[in-house]
Amino acid sequence: MVRVLAVCGNGQGSSMVLKMKMGGFLKKNNIDHELNSCAFGEYKSMMGSADIIVASTHLADDITVPAGKHVVGVKNLLSEADFGPKLMDVIQQNFASDVR
Beta bridge partners of 73: 55
Among 2, 5, 6, 21, binds another protein (CB under 8 A): 21
Looking at 12-20, 28-36, 43-51, 85-93, which segment touches another protein (CB under 8 A)?
A: 12-20
Identity of the residue, 59 or 91, whose beta carbon is nearer to another protein in the bound complex: 59
Considering only residues 59-98, where is the footprint of another protein by CB under 8 A? 59, 75-79
Closest approach of another protein to the CB of residue 27, in Å = 13
* Closest of 94, 71, 95, 93 to residue 83, by C-alpha: 71
Q: Where does this chain bind another protein (CB under 8 A)?
A: 8-14, 16-17, 20-21, 40, 56-59, 75-79
